[in-house]
Amino acid sequence: MMLTLLKKELKERRWYFVIPSGFLLVAALSLPYMYRNLFPILYLSNNFTFADFVWGSWWGQPVWQMGYVFVFFLGSNILGKERESGILEFLLSRNISKGKVLASKIIVDLSIIAAVIVLTTIVMLISVNYSSIEYNNNYSNLNVAIFLWIALCGAYLFCGLLTLLTRARWKGFTLGLLWVVIDLIIYTYSQGTFSLTRYMIDSSIYMNNGFPLIPAIVVVVAGGGIIKLTYDIFSKYY
């Protein structure tokens, strides 16, 4: 039963996997070219290595920033085809609990986020290591990928909850983006002391296989709370 549900959700959301992957693959494959041809000064300088470039131009922009937008699209579409309650009734009338319906959507979406990150990062690493440029990363790509996944999932859940609460897709999406903007403002005004994004911009945490454990735990716990809230809202109003 759950399997069929998961298969159906995956089929409905397959473009949410394909399109971001497409964009990121282009970015991944163009990293060496960009470094050599568009930033020759950096290329020649010793202070700004290729690894630094990759940190900014892969994790920083495409994955993190575009990732936010991507997960907000995903979160605001959490109900998918069942946005019209008529079809939701159909699923529920098959004697499937609301919990299972919601769970199948969340599981599939979190998996898509993971799959996109994993696939494109692997391609990125291949592209980077096979380029003739020296790539000595002093940060752990794996740790970044994991934390990024956790953070993006948290953002997705947050957006999903807002969408269910406001019952309008565009509202959920807009509110989600608003949160990012506020986070950025706080970061700027606090001169870099408060922010979730700080951990993304600061590669020093990841040096020597470091991992921002506490923030990760905070996001996971908050995420759990959001899931519970989402289930309550979903059960009550849909």
Partner 1 sequence: MLKARNVAVALEEIGIQKKGRTILKDISLEVYEGEVFALLGLEGSGKTNLLKAIMGLNQITEGIKAVSSQLGYVSETRALYDRMTVSEIEALCKGLSREWNQSLFSELLNKIMIDGKSIVGSLSKSKKSLLYITLTLATNPRILLIDEPMEGLDDLTKETLMSLLLSFMEDGKNSLILASRTIVEIAGIIDRFGVLNKGKLIYNGSVDDAIANYCRVRIVPKKLDVEIPNLNGIYGLERDGRSILVRINQDKEEIIDYLRKIPHDFFDVIPLGINDVYKEMLREEMYL
Decide if residue 44 touches partner 1 (CB under 8 A). Answer: no
CB proximity list for 157: less than 8 A, separation 6 or greater: 75, 106, 223, 226, 227, 230
- Shortest separation between residue 41's beta carbon and partner 1, angstroms: 52
Q: Which is nearer to partner 1, 90 or 130 (CB)?
A: 90
- Shortest separation between residue 80's beta carbon and partner 1, angstroms: 11
- Judged by CB under 8 A, the chain residues 54 through 93 that form the site for partner 1 are 81, 84, 86-87, 89-93
* Six-digit token string for 147: 């934390």
Asked if residues 121 and 55 have their Cβ atoms less than 8 Å apart, the reply is no
Q: Which is nearer to partner 1, 1 or 38 (CB)?
A: 1
Residues in a beta bridge with 139: 207
CA distance 179 to 151: 13
Decide if residue 15 touches partner 1 (CB under 8 A). Answer: no
What are the helix (H) ranges across 45-140? 50-54, 67-76, 85-92, 98-129
- Shortest separation between residue 149's beta carbon and partner 1, angstroms: 29
- The dihedral through the CA atoms of 53, 58, 59, 62 has a sign that is positive
- Judged by CB under 8 A, the stretch of 94-102, 136-144, 170-178, 212-220 that binds partner 1 is 94-102
Decide if residue 14 touches partner 1 (CB under 8 A). Answer: no
Q: Which residue ranges make up the site for partner 1 (CB under 8 A)?
A: 1, 3-5, 7-8, 81, 84, 86-87, 89-96, 235-236
